[in-house]
Structure 1
Amino acid sequence: MNSKHRIASILKANTLAAEITGLQTFHLSELNLTTELEFELPTKLRLGHLAEKIVAELIKSSTNYKVLYENIQIRENKNTIGELDFIIENILTKQLIHLELAYKFYLFDPTIAEETMHNWIGPNRNDSLKEKLDKLKRKQFPLLYHNCTKSTLNDIETDKVTQALCLLVSLFIPYKYNESFSPVYEKAIKGYYFNFETFVSLDNSAKTYYVPTKKEWGMDPSENEIWTDFAGVENYIRICMKENQAPLCWQKHNDLYITFFIVWW
């Protein structure tokens, strides 16, 4: 995995706005970065933790923010009751911010509910945007004001710390779905999804494919150099379908690159 391209993909990722999340938004574009960042990425981290590591390095490399704390374990009677992602400081204003970060991929299932926000689910249907936001509001952000947090962060006044969410999302809609979305969602839509039968029906000899590892999700497929024909990915995708796993796939067709999920449901 190319570190430079992975870092760039996080910087370019769409941030879901406060009008959807109901929480103050922190945009990575607020970071004043004077140089193009490139550093060695850990190889054993899962995607979410990898994104956290990259964002931590971006903040530390900026000239207007600094990291005071990261991945703060909050314990009560030797039991961990939660974790805060970051406490950062605006160097100019000295304002402290409790920042929570998430890097998520959601698919739109219009059959779930009438309200759009309730219909964004994980590729394998085991999580959702609504559940994520509910957890943040119910657990993550209130944790800052827990007595155990105050004793852990005893060098700062937690009551004066503001809170913000950096929710980086890539959204996918059903193949040939024609309904419109609000601009807040529209700009985060990166592709579509369909089942394996549709994938097979759309294949032709001019198309080549690559199935990225989860650590590569969200990267620009045009930067990829390894491509294969349908036969090169068919067996792997069939196995994914049997195991109820929805893989992300990149497709190259002439000079056009597209990203889609192949779902089992």
Structure 2
Amino acid sequence: MNSKSRIASILNAKSLGSSVTGFPTFELSDLHIQKELDFILPTNIRLGHLAEKIVSRLIQSSLNYTLVYENVQILEHQKTIGEIDFIIEDIKKKQILHLELAYKFYLFDPNISSEGIHNWIGPNRNDSLIEKLDKLNTKQFPLLYHPCTALQLENIDVKTISQALCLLVSLFVPYDFKTKLDSDYQKAIKGYYFNFETFNNLDTSDKLYFLPPKTAWGIDPSENKIWSDYNNIKEQLKKSIHEKQAPLCWQQHQGTYMEFFIVWW
């Protein structure tokens, strides 16, 4: 995995704003970083943790914020009751901020609800945007005010700490979806999704494909150097669908690039 491409994909990812999430928004563009960063990335961690490692380095490299704490495990009776992602400080304003970070891929299923916010689900339908927001509201942000938290944040009065969310998303809509979504969602749409039967019926004869590992999700497909024809990915796709795993697929065709999920449901 090209570390520069992976870092750039996080730094340039779109975030959902407070009009959707209900929380104050922290944009990674708020970090003043003078030079292009490149550093060695771990290869044996999940995508969400990889994003946290990258954002940690971005904060440490910024000129306007300092990293005070990260991944603070809050303990009660020697048992972990939660984790605070970041405590950072605005150098100029001397303002301490509790920052929660999430890096998510959601697909829009218009059949779930008449309320759009309920229709964003994970590729395998085992998580959703509304569930994530509920967890933030009931567990992750209130954790700052748990009595055990103050004991672990030395010399900081938790009452003076502000809170914000950086919810980075890549969004996908159904194939041939024509409805225009709210602008906060629209700006984050990266592609579409369909089932294997629909994909199999498309003209694939002169197109090239790559099935990125999850740690590469979100990288621009144009950065990829290894491509295969349809026949060389077909069996892998069948296996994923059989195992009820929706793969992300990158496509190259006549100098243009696309990305889409192939779902099993």
Category of TM-score, reference length = shorter chain: over 0.9
Given the alignment of the two structures, is residue 156 of structure 1 paired with residue 183 of structure 2, yes or no?
Answer: no
**CA deviation vs aligned residue, 1:98-123 (integer Å, no higher than 9, x gap):** 00000000000000000100000000
**CA deviation vs aligned residue, 1:217-256 (integer Å, no higher than 9, x gap):** 0000001000000011101100011100000000001111
1:201 — aligned with what? Answer: 201
Given the alignment of the two structures, is residue 101 of structure 1 paired with residue 101 of structure 2, yes or no?
Answer: yes
1:132 — aligned with what? Answer: 132
1:144 — aligned with what? Answer: 144
**TM-score in terms of structure 2 length:** 0.99
Query: Could you tell me the percent identity over the aligned residues?
Result: 62
Q: Which aligned segments of 4 or more residues in structure 1 are displaced greater than 6 angstroms? A: none
Pairwise CA RMSD: 0.5
Deviation at 1:205, TM superposition (A): 1.8
1:81 — aligned with what? Answer: 81
2:61 — aligned with what? Answer: 61
**TM-score in terms of structure 1 length:** 0.99
Q: Matched residues in 1 for 2:130 and 2:257: separation?
A: 30
2:7 — aligned with what? Answer: 7
Deviation at 1:93, TM superposition (A): 0.6
1:229 — aligned with what? Answer: 229
1:176 — aligned with what? Answer: 176
CA contact (8 A) 1:107 1:173 kept: yes
1:25 — aligned with what? Answer: 25
The amino acid that maps onto 2:73 is Q
SS of 2:19's partner is helix
Extract unaligned runs of 5+ from structure 2.
none
Deviation at 1:203, TM superposition (A): 3.2
1:110 — aligned with what? Answer: 110
**CA deviation vs aligned residue, 1:122-171 (integer Å, no higher than 9, x gap):** 00000000000000000000000000001111310101000000000000
CA contact (8 A) 1:98 1:163 kept: yes
Q: Matched residues in 1 for 2:62 and 2:195: separation?
A: 43
The amino acid that maps onto 1:181 is L
CA contact (8 A) 1:203 1:230 kept: no
Q: Matched residues in 1 for 2:122 and 2:38: separation?
A: 30
Q: Matched residues in 2 for 1:204 and 1:51: separation?
A: 33
SS of 1:69's partner is strand
Deviation at 1:83, TM superposition (A): 0.3
Q: Matched residues in 1 for 2:263 and 2:205: separation?
A: 22
Deviation at 1:179, TM superposition (A): 1.1
SS of 1:84's partner is strand
Q: Matched residues in 2 for 1:99 and 1:111: separation?
A: 33
Deviation at 1:206, TM superposition (A): 1.4
Q: Matched residues in 2 for 1:182 and 1:141: separation?
A: 26
Q: Matched residues in 1 for 2:10 and 2:219: separation?
A: 8
Given the alignment of the two structures, is residue 251 of structure 1 paired with residue 254 of structure 2, yes or no?
Answer: no
